[in-house]
C-alpha cells in the first residue's frame, strides 16, 4: 500500500492572506484524515509565509495518522522537530527564500552533514527521510547517512510525463530498485498530480508514501477536498 500524505502548505497560505483563522488549518488536516488521507505533510519555512511554527504543536496533537515535517535542517528547524516529535522528518536542501523545493541532496557531498543531523532524530524515535533525485550515487551515499527513507524528487518525472512517460519514469524505476535493495523505504513527491500519479505508482513497486500539495489542493477548488482525496487514493490503489 502506498500512503497519501496531503501537504497542507497552500491552505496555510490562504489563511495567512487575511491574517485570521480561515480556513482553519487544523480542522482541514483532521478532515483530510477523515476523508482518507494517511498522512499530513507540512513544510515550515523560516519566513513562516505558509505554515507557522505555532501550527506545529496543535497539528502533532491532533493528527492521528502520520505527521511529516519537511525542511532544511537549520539549527532552529532541528530543535523544533526534536521538540514536536513528528512521526517523520524529511530533510530538504532548499534555500530559505526558495519558492518551493527545487533540488535534492547531493548525498555524497553531504554524507557527514546528514549523518550528524539524522542521529538525534533517530535517538528521538523520529523516522527520517531525505529528498533526493535519481542519481544512482545518491542511493549509495543515502544509506551511509543512516536515513530510513529517501523521498524521490519527482519534478523531472512530472515535467517529462506528457512528452514520454516511459522515458520519464526510467531513472525512477532504477533509483527505487536500488534504494529498495539497500533497505531504504521509498517516498516520492513534487508536482505529482491526478494525471501522472497512477503511472508512477504502477511502475514503482515499493512506493511507501507520496506527499502531494499544490495539485491536490488546486483540484479541491473544483471537486472539494473529500472528493479530491478519494480521486487521488483511487490512483494509488
Q: How far is the CB of 76 from ligand PXP (least distance, A)?
A: 18
Strand 149-153 relative to strand 39-42, pairing:
unpaired
Gap between the Cα atoms of 200 and 235, Å rounded: 9
- In the region spanning residues 124 to 163, those forming contacts with ligand PXP, defined by CB under 6 A, are 131, 151
- Residue 50 designated active-site: no
Cell numbers for 36: 482518507
Q: What residues have CB less than 8 Å from 136, skipping those under 6 apart?
A: 174, 175, 178
Enumerate long-range contacts of 176-182, CB under 8 Å, 24 or more apart: 176/152, 176/204, 176/205, 176/206, 176/207, 177/205, 178/136, 178/139, 178/140, 179/139, 179/142, 179/150, 180/205, 180/206, 182/139, 182/140, 182/142, 182/143
Strand 149-153 relative to strand 127-132, pairing:
parallel
Contact (Cβ atoms closer than 8 angstroms) between residue 145 and residue 107: yes
- Residue 43 designated active-site: yes
Q: Which stretch binds ligand PXP (CB under 6 A): 53-61, 113-121, 159-167, 208-216?
A: 208-216
Q: Does residue 228 bind ligand PXP (CB under 6 A)?
A: no
Q: Does residue 67 bind ligand PXP (CB under 6 A)?
A: no
- From residue 13 to residue 52, the character string flagging contacts with ligand PXP as x (rule: CB under 6 A) and all else as - is ------------------------------x---------
Of 190, 209, 220, 228, the one binding ligand PXP by CB under 6 A: 190
Q: Which is nearer to ligand PXP, 172 or 181 (CB)?
A: 172
Q: Which stretch binds ligand PXP (CB under 6 A): 22-30, 60-68, 186-194, 226-234?
A: 186-194
Cell numbers for 188: 516520492
Q: Does residue 7 bind ligand PXP (CB under 6 A)?
A: yes
Compute how many residues bind ligand PXP; rule: CB under 6 A: 19
Q: Which stretch binds ligand PXP (CB under 6 A): 23-31, 140-148, 165-173, 211-219?
A: 211-219
Contact (Cβ atoms closer than 8 angstroms) between residue 164 and residue 176: no
- Residue 190 designated active-site: yes
Gap between the Cα atoms of 121 and 80, Å rounded: 11
Of 212, 220, 225, 236, the one binding ligand PXP by CB under 6 A: 212
Could you check whether the bond before residue 23 is cis, i.e. omega within 30 degrees of 0?
yes
Chain residues in the site for ligand PXP (CB under 6 A): 7, 9, 43, 70, 90, 92, 100-101, 131, 151, 189-192, 211-215
Active centre residues (catalytic): 43, 70, 190
Amino acid at each position: 500500500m502506498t500512503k497519501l500524505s496531503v501537504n497542507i502548505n497552500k491552505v496555510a497560505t490562504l489563511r495567512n492572506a487575511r491574517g485570521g483563522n480561515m480556513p482553519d488549518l487544523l480542522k482541514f488536516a483532521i478532515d483530510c484524515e477523515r476523508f482518507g488521507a494517511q498522512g499530513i505533510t507540512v513544510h515550515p519555512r523560516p519566513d513562516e509565509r505558509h505554515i507557522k511554527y505555532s501550527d506545529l504543536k496543535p497539528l502533532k496533537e491532533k493528527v492521528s495518522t502520520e505527521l511529516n515535517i519537511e525542511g532544511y535542517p537549520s539549527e532552529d528547524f532541528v530543535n523544533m522537530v526534536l521538540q514536536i516529535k513528528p512521526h517523520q522528518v524529511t530533510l530538504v536542501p532548499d534555500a530559505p527564500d526558495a519558492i518551493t523545493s527545487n533540488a535534492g541532496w547531493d548525498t555524497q557531498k553531504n554524507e557527514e552533514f546528514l549523518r550528524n543531523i539524522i542521529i538525534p532524530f533517530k535517538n528521538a524515535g523520529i523516522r527520517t527521510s531525505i529528498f533526493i533525485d535519481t542519481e544512482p550515487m545518491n542511493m549509495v551515499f543515502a544509506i551511509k547517512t543512516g536515513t530510513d527513507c529517501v523521498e524521490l524528487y519527482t519534478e523531472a518525472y512530472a515535467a517529462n510525463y506528457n512528452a514520454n512517460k516511459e522515458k520519464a519514469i526510467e531513472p525512477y524505476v532504477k533509483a527505487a530498485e536500488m534504494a529498495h535493495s539497500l533497505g531504504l523505504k521509498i517516498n516520492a513527491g513534487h508536482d505529482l498530480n491526478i494525471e501522472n500519479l497512477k503511472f508512477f505508482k504502477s511502475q514503482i513497486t515499493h512506493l511507501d508514501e507520496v506527499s502531494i500539495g499544490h495539485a491536490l489542493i488546486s483540484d479541491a477548488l473544483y471537486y472539494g477536498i473529500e472528493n479530491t482525496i478519494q480521486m487521488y487514493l483511487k490512483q494509488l490503489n
